[in-house]
Structure 1
Amino acid sequence: MSRSTVPKPPRHSSQARPADTTYRAGCQRTWAVASAEPDLAYTEQAFPECPSCLHRVEPDGAPPFCTLRPVGSAHPFAALAALNLSD
Protein backbone atom coordinates (compact mmCIF):
# COMPACT_ATOMS: atom_id res chain seq x y z
CA MET A 1 0.00 0.00 0.00
CA SER A 2 1.42 3.29 -1.05
CA ARG A 3 1.46 6.12 1.42
CA SER A 4 0.65 9.58 0.09
CA THR A 5 2.23 12.59 1.70
CA VAL A 6 0.69 15.98 1.93
CA PRO A 7 3.22 18.78 1.76
CA LYS A 8 3.35 20.96 4.82
CA PRO A 9 2.89 24.68 4.39
CA PRO A 10 6.11 26.67 4.64
CA ARG A 11 6.98 27.83 8.12
CA HIS A 12 7.65 31.50 8.50
CA SER A 13 9.94 32.24 11.37
CA SER A 14 9.30 35.95 11.04
CA GLN A 15 6.23 37.27 9.35
CA ALA A 16 6.46 40.64 7.67
CA ARG A 17 5.54 43.21 10.28
CA PRO A 18 5.44 46.91 9.66
CA ALA A 19 8.27 48.88 11.20
CA ASP A 20 7.56 51.37 13.95
CA THR A 21 6.26 54.60 12.51
CA THR A 22 6.22 57.81 14.52
CA TYR A 23 2.78 59.40 14.50
CA ARG A 24 2.01 62.97 15.60
CA ALA A 25 -1.22 64.34 17.06
CA GLY A 26 -2.55 67.87 16.67
CA CYS A 27 -1.02 68.76 20.03
CA GLN A 28 2.40 67.74 18.62
CA ARG A 29 2.73 64.71 20.91
CA THR A 30 4.26 61.72 19.17
CA TRP A 31 3.89 57.95 19.45
CA ALA A 32 5.95 55.20 17.82
CA VAL A 33 3.56 52.49 16.64
CA ALA A 34 4.12 49.42 14.45
CA SER A 35 1.62 50.24 11.72
CA ALA A 36 1.60 50.94 8.00
CA GLU A 37 -1.64 52.93 8.16
CA PRO A 38 -1.72 56.46 6.69
CA ASP A 39 -3.32 57.75 9.89
CA LEU A 40 -4.64 56.46 13.20
CA ALA A 41 -7.43 57.56 15.54
CA TYR A 42 -6.38 58.51 19.05
CA THR A 43 -9.48 57.87 21.16
CA GLU A 44 -8.10 57.94 24.69
CA GLN A 45 -8.22 61.77 24.96
CA ALA A 46 -6.11 61.54 28.14
CA PHE A 47 -4.49 64.98 28.10
CA PRO A 48 -6.04 68.06 29.77
CA GLU A 49 -6.16 70.02 26.51
CA CYS A 50 -7.90 67.23 24.54
CA PRO A 51 -11.48 68.55 25.07
CA SER A 52 -10.53 71.94 23.58
CA CYS A 53 -8.05 70.74 20.93
CA LEU A 54 -8.74 72.07 17.43
CA HIS A 55 -7.83 68.66 15.97
CA ARG A 56 -10.49 66.81 17.98
CA VAL A 57 -13.22 65.18 15.91
CA GLU A 58 -16.61 64.51 17.48
CA PRO A 59 -18.60 62.20 15.17
CA ASP A 60 -22.30 61.55 15.80
CA GLY A 61 -22.80 58.29 17.66
CA ALA A 62 -19.11 57.56 18.23
CA PRO A 63 -16.46 58.63 20.74
CA PRO A 64 -14.36 61.70 19.97
CA PHE A 65 -10.90 61.16 18.54
CA CYS A 66 -7.81 62.91 17.28
CA THR A 67 -6.17 61.89 14.03
CA LEU A 68 -2.55 60.81 14.33
CA ARG A 69 -0.53 61.21 11.11
CA PRO A 70 2.97 59.93 10.39
CA VAL A 71 5.63 62.54 11.13
CA GLY A 72 6.76 64.20 7.90
CA SER A 73 3.68 63.25 5.89
CA ALA A 74 1.72 65.89 4.04
CA HIS A 75 -1.63 66.98 5.38
CA PRO A 76 -4.39 65.08 3.54
CA PHE A 77 -5.71 68.34 2.07
CA ALA A 78 -2.29 69.78 1.16
CA ALA A 79 -2.91 69.16 -2.55
CA LEU A 80 -5.93 71.49 -2.40
CA ALA A 81 -3.65 74.44 -1.62
CA ALA A 82 -2.39 74.36 -5.22
CA LEU A 83 -5.87 74.63 -6.76
CA ASN A 84 -6.60 77.78 -8.73
CA LEU A 85 -10.35 78.44 -8.60
CA SER A 86 -10.24 81.85 -10.30
CA ASP A 87 -10.74 80.57 -13.88
Structure 2
Amino acid sequence: MSKRRPAQTTVIRAAPRQTYRAGCGREWQVVSAEPDLAYTEQAFPECPTCPHRVEPDGGPPFCTLRPSSAAHPFAGLAGLKLPD
Protein backbone atom coordinates (compact mmCIF):
# COMPACT_ATOMS: atom_id res chain seq x y z
CA MET A 1 0.00 0.00 0.00
CA SER A 2 1.49 3.35 -1.06
CA LYS A 3 0.96 6.65 0.66
CA ARG A 4 -0.73 9.35 -1.35
CA ARG A 5 1.05 12.66 -1.53
CA PRO A 6 -1.02 15.76 -0.96
CA ALA A 7 -1.67 17.80 -4.09
CA GLN A 8 0.73 20.68 -4.51
CA THR A 9 -0.67 24.16 -4.55
CA THR A 10 0.95 26.86 -6.63
CA VAL A 11 0.65 30.33 -5.18
CA ILE A 12 0.85 33.15 -7.67
CA ARG A 13 1.49 36.48 -6.08
CA ALA A 14 0.39 39.65 -7.79
CA ALA A 15 3.07 42.23 -8.43
CA PRO A 16 2.90 44.92 -5.78
CA ARG A 17 1.46 48.31 -6.60
CA GLN A 18 4.05 51.03 -6.40
CA THR A 19 3.67 54.78 -6.38
CA TYR A 20 5.64 56.51 -9.13
CA ARG A 21 6.25 60.26 -9.25
CA ALA A 22 6.90 62.45 -12.27
CA GLY A 23 9.22 65.44 -12.21
CA CYS A 24 6.18 67.73 -11.84
CA GLY A 25 5.18 65.92 -8.64
CA ARG A 26 2.15 64.05 -10.01
CA GLU A 27 1.89 60.47 -8.80
CA TRP A 28 0.57 57.26 -10.35
CA GLN A 29 -0.11 53.86 -8.79
CA VAL A 30 1.45 51.27 -11.11
CA VAL A 31 1.82 47.50 -10.89
CA SER A 32 5.42 47.08 -11.98
CA ALA A 33 8.86 46.07 -10.87
CA GLU A 34 10.66 48.53 -13.14
CA PRO A 35 13.06 51.05 -11.55
CA ASP A 36 11.64 53.84 -13.71
CA LEU A 37 9.08 54.15 -16.46
CA ALA A 38 8.71 56.37 -19.49
CA TYR A 39 5.45 58.27 -19.47
CA THR A 40 4.63 59.43 -22.98
CA GLU A 41 1.10 60.79 -22.79
CA GLN A 42 2.14 64.40 -21.95
CA ALA A 43 -1.51 65.08 -21.10
CA PHE A 44 -1.17 68.12 -18.87
CA PRO A 45 -1.09 71.75 -20.06
CA GLU A 46 2.37 72.39 -18.63
CA CYS A 47 3.97 69.27 -20.20
CA PRO A 48 5.33 71.08 -23.31
CA THR A 49 7.30 73.49 -21.10
CA CYS A 50 8.13 71.11 -18.22
CA PRO A 51 11.87 71.14 -17.34
CA HIS A 52 11.68 67.37 -16.70
CA ARG A 53 10.50 66.61 -20.24
CA VAL A 54 12.87 64.42 -22.25
CA GLU A 55 13.00 64.92 -26.03
CA PRO A 56 14.97 62.05 -27.62
CA ASP A 57 16.16 62.17 -31.23
CA GLY A 58 13.70 60.28 -33.42
CA GLY A 59 11.11 59.60 -30.75
CA PRO A 60 8.21 61.26 -28.96
CA PRO A 61 8.93 63.44 -25.92
CA PHE A 62 8.36 61.74 -22.59
CA CYS A 63 8.57 62.13 -18.84
CA THR A 64 10.18 59.54 -16.63
CA LEU A 65 8.34 58.23 -13.61
CA ARG A 66 10.47 57.09 -10.70
CA PRO A 67 9.40 55.31 -7.53
CA SER A 68 8.24 57.95 -5.06
CA SER A 69 10.66 56.54 -2.48
CA ALA A 70 13.68 56.89 -4.80
CA ALA A 71 16.23 59.61 -4.32
CA HIS A 72 16.54 62.36 -6.91
CA PRO A 73 18.56 61.04 -9.91
CA PHE A 74 21.35 63.52 -9.20
CA ALA A 75 21.35 63.09 -5.40
CA GLY A 76 24.63 61.18 -5.61
CA LEU A 77 26.33 64.28 -6.98
CA ALA A 78 25.55 66.28 -3.84
CA GLY A 79 28.60 64.92 -2.03
CA LEU A 80 30.92 65.14 -5.02
CA LYS A 81 34.15 66.96 -4.22
CA LEU A 82 36.07 68.41 -7.14
CA PRO A 83 39.86 68.54 -6.95
CA ASP A 84 41.31 71.98 -6.32
TM band (smaller chain): 0.7 to 0.9
- Kindly report the root-mean-square deviation, in angstroms, between the aligned alpha carbons of the 2 structures: 1.6
Alignment of 1:6-85 (within 5 A): 12-14=10-12, 16-85=13-82
Query: What residue ranges of structure 2 are gaps of 5+ in the alignment?
Result: 1-7
- Show the counterpart of 2:3: none
Count how many residue pairs are aligned between Structure 1 and Structure 2.
Answer: 77
> Under a length normalisation based on structure 2, what TM-score does the superposition of the two structures give?
0.81
Stretches of structure 1 that go unaligned for 5 or more consecutive residues are 1-9
Distance 2:74 2:15 in 1: 25
Residue identity over aligned pairs, in percent, reads: 68
Q: Deviations over 1:9-66 (max 9, x none)?
A: x87452x442000001111110000111111111000111100001000000000000
What CA distance in whole angstroms lies between the structure 1 residues aligned with 2:11 and 2:17?
19
Q: CA deviation at 1:86?
A: 2.8
